[in-house]
Amino acid sequence: MSEPLLRATNLVKEFTIRGTGLLGRAARLRAVDDVSLEVRTGETLALVGESGSGKSTTARLIARLIDTTGGAIEFAGREVHALTGKDLHAYRGEVQVVFQDPYSSLNPKHTVERIVTAPLIYQKRPVPGGARAFTRELMERVGLNPDHSARFPAQFSGGQAQRIGIARALAVSPKLIIADEAVSALDVSVQAQVINLLRRLQDEEGFSYLFIAHDLAVVRQIATRVAVMNEGRIVETGDRDQVFGDPQDPYTRKLLAAVPRIRPEWDAARRRNERARRERQEAGA
Amino acid sequence: MSTATRDEQPLLRVRDLTVGFTTAAGETNVVKHLDFDLARGGALGIVGESGSGKSMTSLAVMGLLPKGAKRTGSIELDGTELTTLRERQMQAVRGDRIAMVFQDPLSSLNPYYTVGTQIMEAYRSHRTGVTRRAARKIAIEAMERVHIKDAARRVDHYPHQFSGGMRQRVMIAMTLSMEPDLIIADEPTTALDVTVQAQILDLLAEIRRDTGAGLILITHDLAVVSEVADHIVVMRDGDLVEQGPAERIFCDPQADYTRMLLDAVPRIDDEIGLLRTTSTEETR
């Protein structure tokens, strides 16, 4: 098998909690505890877990938004920890993050054009074809009306604002997009459309996703492989269908069993009724 | 009233319920001409996406609409019209007969008082002449009924000493101590982890079974409502899209909107309809 795009080995992240330790001394909280994972080119690795599992902290370590306490991160064969200056700039272009709340991650005072060209300007790279044409093309790719490039984030719905966040990530042609609960805050109909968009863009561009999520049903729709986190550790990793179909770890089994679900026999009946309805319509037409 | 008619009468009957606001842009109705019944001991699910009016509907039933909201139509609880009650009378109804569980238990609990004090005060404000000692006993019993371990000690703890799921149990204990006929739960598990959500949903089912209380569950989550409700109301932009028995809504939805929603719900064991039919136009 080819070298993975990203390889994290024995990652550790400790936070200091002031004054809660013995005699009021600083205590250490180990949020990420010996985590190793790989993301291959063109695949989606979903990192799942409940609140406090360490999944978001792991994502931030990989994006180098925070520093590791221990362990190594290798990206395209280079040690991420050692990157400085120009090389770190380049890394920040190759790895992009899409956050949960589009409104708080988009500058409310900037137009779409300014927002999506910002990563290029930050990297002192030319904007191919000029800012206006570049923005229009990106907006079309993420399913937004290109005539709205001079609008501000507040003028868009939640789903549309998330598409702006995705367009901004795409602007620098990244190799890895870290989606941190990127569809969690969206209404179910909008969520399905954004999942569709994320899948289509990956098919077109061939980049990889590290998809951080608590919703296992969403993960089922998008993941190639799944890593399950609990209390700072990865308890199970495997291909999507293997983890969902034949979970090995007791925690994974507990998590899967707790997911609320629509009865499969109801879904089957609905599909039968839907087919009958279409046939009646075709017969009538 | 004869027993026969009392049995036929629903616990809650809502007719032509409309909730409106006057804004600078004019009148906006956020709930429009809603009709529904909740059978005695039944579980009604009101589902919808954001802006559907589902939460405004529950607040309208409770008489807790924000200032400036205008409510018209009829809301009958056990044959008693609620919309014409004075605020004092409505307060009594809220304490004795209808109880509400919200999404965020932390914001509904006072951080400065122990959970026991809050359960006791809620109870004593609606049951006059109850001693502190008796109320404390009732608080501990209510906490035991929602499976909070070591309730006799935990009763003296503050809200921050409980996890999110345990705080929601405290809220449910508070409503239980009132022995309500109707529990309205507005997204009660949305802020909780999935394993905790499963426990809280089990708990609500257990309470319904044991007390015979009716339940209105307000939620955006169709999988959750499919597990809890026996009758479902689907709302969108303040309109009632369709309603019916849960099995009928899920097996044979009539409205295009309901069909679209059911296609869009991610399934843990299958690809969802909207992903399967790649021809689906992504809306702008």
Report the relative pairing of strands A233-239 and B43-47 from DSSP bridges: unpaired
Question: Across the beta sheet with A70-75, what order do the strands follow?
Answer: A27-39, A6-17, A70-75, A78-79
Kindly give the confidence (pLDDT) of every residue in chain A, 285 residues in length, as a single tens digit, with 9 standing for 90 and above: 567 999 999 999 999 876 655 666 677 889 999 999 999 999 999 999 998 899 999 999 999 999 999 999 999 999 998 999 889 988 999 999 999 988 899 999 999 999 999 999 988 889 999 999 999 999 999 999 999 999 999 999 999 999 999 999 999 999 999 999 999 989 999 999 999 999 999 999 999 999 999 999 999 999 999 999 999 999 999 999 999 999 999 999 999 999 999 999 999 999 999 999 999 999 987
DSSP state of A64: T
Contacts with A55 from chain B: Cβ below 8 Å: none
Report the relative pairing of strands A208-213 and A176-180 from DSSP bridges: parallel
| CATH class assigned to B1-97+183-284 | alpha beta
The encoded tokens of residue A137 equal 């093309």
The answer to whether the Cβ–Cβ distance between A261 and B269 falls below 8 Å is yes
Residue B76 Cα, gap to closest chain A Cα (Å): 32
Contact A232, A246 (CB under 8 A): no
**Count: domains in chain A:** 1
The answer to whether the Cβ–Cβ distance between A221 and B266 falls below 8 Å is yes
* CA nearest to B275 within chain A: A196
* CA nearest to B263 within chain A: A189
Which residue in A194, A266, A272, A277 has the most chain B C-beta atoms within 10 A of its own C-beta, making it the best mutation to test that interface?
A: A266
Name which of B221, B226, B272 is nearest A263 (Cβ-Cβ): B226
Give me the amino acid identity at A127.
Answer: V
Predicted confidence at residue A25, as pLDDT, reads 67
Name which of B201, B251, B261 is nearest A188 (Cβ-Cβ): B261
The encoded tokens of residue A25 equal 């001394």
**CATH number of the domain that A155 lies in?**
3.40.50.300
* CA nearest to B197 within chain A: A258
Which residue in A48, A156, A259 has the most chain B C-beta atoms within 10 A of its own C-beta, making it the best mutation to test that interface?
A: A259
Residue B262 Cα, gap to closest chain A Cα (Å): 9
Angle between helices B87-96 and B115-126 (to 10 degrees): 120
Q: Please give the Cα distance from B222 to B227 (Å, whole number).
A: 9
Residue pLDDT, tens place only, B94-103: 888 999 998 8
Q: Please give the Cα distance from A220 to A49 (Å, whole number).
A: 14
Q: Which residues contact A234 (CB under 8 A, 6 or more apart)?
A: A35, A36, A37, A227, A228
Show me where the domains of chain B are located: 1-97+183-284, 104-179
Name which of B226, B227, B261 is nearest A189 (Cβ-Cβ): B261
The mean pLDDT value for B135-157 works out to 93
Written in H, E and C, the secondary structure of chain B is: CCHHHHHHCCCEEEEEEEEEEEECCEEEEEEEEEEEEECCCCEEEEECCCCCCHHHHHHHHHCCCCCCEEEEEEEEECCEECCCCCHHHHHHHHHHCEEEECCCHHHHCCCCCCHHHHHHHHHHHHCCCCCHHHHHHHHHHHHHHCCCCCHHHHCCCCHHHCCHHHHHHHHHHHHHHCCCCEEEEECCCCCCCHHHHHHHHHHHHHHHHHHCCEEEEEECCHHHHHHHCCEEEEEECCEEEEEEEHHHHHHCCCCHHHHHHHHHCCECCECCHHHHCCCCCCCC
Reported ipTM: 0.88
Domain coverage including residue A97: 6-284
| Torsion angle, alpha carbons of B154, B158, B164, B165, to 10 | 20
φ/ψ (deg, to 5) at A153: -50, -40
The answer to whether the Cβ–Cβ distance between A217 and B268 falls below 8 Å is yes
SS3 A180: strand
Name which of A144, A197, A217 is nearest B266 (Cβ-Cβ): A217
The answer to whether the Cβ–Cβ distance between B271 and A221 falls below 8 Å is yes
SS3 A272: helix
SS3 A12: strand
- What's chain B's Rg over C-alpha atoms? 20
Report the relative pairing of strands A208-213 and A44-48 from DSSP bridges: parallel
- B188 in contact with A, Cβ within 8 Å: no
Q: Please give the Cα distance from A49 to A43 (Å, whole number).
A: 19
Contact B82, B97 (CB under 8 A): no
In a domain, A108, yes or no: yes
Q: Please give the Cα distance from B196 to B19 (Å, whole number).
A: 34
Contacts with B272 from chain A: Cβ below 8 Å: 192, 221
Contacts with A226 from chain B: Cβ below 8 Å: none
Kindly state the helix (H) or strand (E) to which residue A46 belongs, with its residue range. Answer: strand A44-48
In a domain, A1, yes or no: no
The answer to whether the Cβ–Cβ distance between B195 and A50 falls below 8 Å is yes
Give me the amino acid identity at B238.
Answer: G
**Band of residue B270 on the pLDDT scale cut at 50, 70, 90:** confident
